[in-house]
Structure formats: C-alpha cells, structure tokens
Amino acid sequence: MSSYVLIPGMCHGAWCFDEVAASLRSAGHHVLALTLTGVGERSHLMPGGVNLDTHIVDVLAAIDNDAATGADLILVGHSYGGMVITGVADRIPDRVDSLVFLDAVVPRDGEACWDLVNDEERQWYVKVDDSGFGVPPMPFFDDRATSHPLATVLQPLRLRGDLNGFRRRIFVYALDWPGESPLRPSYDRVRDDPTWICHELDGRHNLMRDRPADLLRILLSASQS
C-alpha cells in the first residue's frame, strides 16, 4: 500500500479528486485529499493572512495527524499545487518517495507561482474579488470553487535542500488548452530531463475530470518499484 497526498489547484477543494481518490482506494492505497486554508469549505479561515507557507503547513499537519499515512509518500499537486508539494517534499524529504506534477508549476528556490506562468494567467491573479485578498474562480470552474488567497501565488518558495533525490518525479501535461498553456514553461523545464517521467494527455487542465482513467494509470505507476 502506498500513501497518496492529493493537493488541488487554485480555487478548488479536495472534492476535485473524488473520482481518482476512490479509484486509488479501491486499488488498495491510502489517500489523503486536502482542501487548503482559505479555499472551498475552508474559505472563511484567515482570508487575508493565507500565503504559500500556510498551505505547506496545512499539508505537513494533515500528514502528521493522519495515523494511516505512512512513509514513502506520493505527493500529487495539480496546477498551483505544484508549489505546495515542492515545499512539503523539501521539508520532509525522508518521508517522500515520489512527486507528481499534474499540469502544475515546477518551482525552484526563490520562485513564486507568479514567476512561472504567462501574462494571461497573471492578469487573472490581479483581478481580485471585493475582499482585495482573493483571486475569484473562473466562470467555467466547478460551482463549488471559491476565491483563492492572492498571497499564495505571490510568495516565493524557499527551499532548503535538493529535490533531485526522490525516486520518481512525474509531470503530466494537459494538451487541450484554449490558448497558450500557463504550465508550458514548467513542462519545458523538465520534458527533456532524463530524471523526469513526462506524460501528455489529450485533455483540459482538470485532467482528474477529463482523463480520470489515464490519470489513474499514471498515479498507480508511481507506486510501482
């Protein structure tokens, strides 16, 4: 049994992984799918004081508090979630086996999510909601989506160690974007690196919804020796 930790992208909660999480559990694995502070059903918590560090601590605390979550974790981050799983892996490298970047940003030390996306994505970030602190969900997002704390995409990630030592680093790239993908720079960063495993899926950004069977196959491969 492997332990999968699933981290959603901006504006989304743990519910975006419901189908994939159920399939992983049916295959005998333990799954911890999380909604981050200030988003979804947790949108009322510290809306003006949530940054990237908050979300990294969210995940570390959830791992520590879940008795069924063992060692050799497989961290899965969708979109912005790539920032979070990178920060978590850096802080508990001895417990992490593999990282899966699901159409996600791949940061290096000192980089913010803002630095890794294109201008169109940045224009969305700064069109804040009435609170002045939140990035509103796109009109086509799930009805459960809520605003996302702006500071999380502006704060640089500070890394303490080298992330090259994990057994597997996987990138899953979504091909069906209506225009230029804001994740293309991150994909280009890793696609020719022989230490990464890269997949392209003919689906839209929310691959959990568009290509659940293909995604499940990739996630299960991460647990294989």
Render pLDDT for 57-111 as a digit per residue (tens, 0 to 9). Answer: 999 999 999 988 887 899 999 999 999 999 999 999 999 999 999 999 999 999 9
What are the φ/ψ torsions at residue 148 (nearest 5 degrees)? -120, 135
> Does residue 82 sit in helix, strand or coil?
helix
Across the range 160-167, mean pLDDT stands at 90
Question: Contact at 8 Å (CB) between 183 and 203?
Answer: no
Query: Of the residues 79, 98, 147, 186, which is catalytic?
Result: 79
Q: Which residue has the higher pLDDT, 192 or 72?
A: 192
Reported as a single tens digit per residue, the pLDDT across 35-52 is: 999 896 666 655 668 999
197-212 residue pLDDT tens: 999 999 999 999 999 9
Residue 31 clears pLDDT 70, i.e. is over it: yes
Q: Which residues contact 10 (CB under 8 A, 6 or more apart)?
A: 39, 79, 80, 135, 148, 153
For 129-152, b/e burial (b = at least 16 CB within 10 A) is eeeebbbbbeeebeeebbbbbbbb
- Is the Cβ–Cβ distance between 158 and 109 less than 8 Å? yes
Q: What is the C-alpha separation between 133 and 46, in angstroms, rounded?
A: 10
Of 35, 9, 21, 1, residue with least CA distance to 135: 9
Mean pLDDT, the chain, integer: 94
Domain count, the chain: 1
Q: Which of 140, 124, 204 is nearest to 172 (CA)?
A: 204
pTM: 0.95
Could you give the residue ranges of the DSSP H alpha helices within 92-206? 113-116, 119-125, 151-154, 184-190
Residue 112, domain extent: 3-222
Q: For strand 148-149 and strand 73-78, is the pairing parallel, antiparallel, or unpaired? A: unpaired
Tell me the CATH number at 210.
Answer: 3.40.50.1820
Residue 167 CA to residue 13 CA, distance in Å, equals 28
- The encoded tokens of residue 165 equal 């030592």
Tokens representing residue 36 in the block:
């981050």
**Percent of the residues in the chain that have a pLDDT greater than 90, as a whole number:** 84
At 70 the pLDDT is 80
Closest by CA to 11, choosing from 197, 116, 140, 172, is: 140
> Which residue, 41, 149, 141, is CA-closest to 33?
41
79 is catalytic: yes
Tally the C-alpha atoms within 13 A of residue 221's C-alpha that lie toward its C-beta.
15
